[in-house]
Amino acid sequence: MSNKLNPTSDPHQTIYQIRLQGHLDRQWSDWFGGLTITLEDNGETLLTGPVVDQAALHGLLRKVRDIGMPLLSVVRVDLDQADASGGK
CATH classification of the domain holding 70: 3.30.70
Q: What is the dihedral of CA 75, 79, 85, 88, to 10 degrees?
A: 40
DSSP classification of residue 43 = S
Q: Which domain holds residue 71?
A: 14-84
Has residue 2 been placed in a domain?
no
Whether residue 1 is contained in a domain is answered as: no
> Going residue by residue through the chain (88 aa), what tens digit of pLDDT does each one get?
344 444 444 566 799 999 999 999 878 988 998 899 999 999 999 999 999 999 999 999 999 999 999 999 999 998 765 555 454 4
Predicted TM-score of the model (pTM): 0.76
Split into its structural domains, the chain has a count of 1
3-state helix, strand, coil in the chain (%, to 5): 25, 30, 40
Q: Is residue 7 part of a domain?
A: no
Any domain includes 80: yes
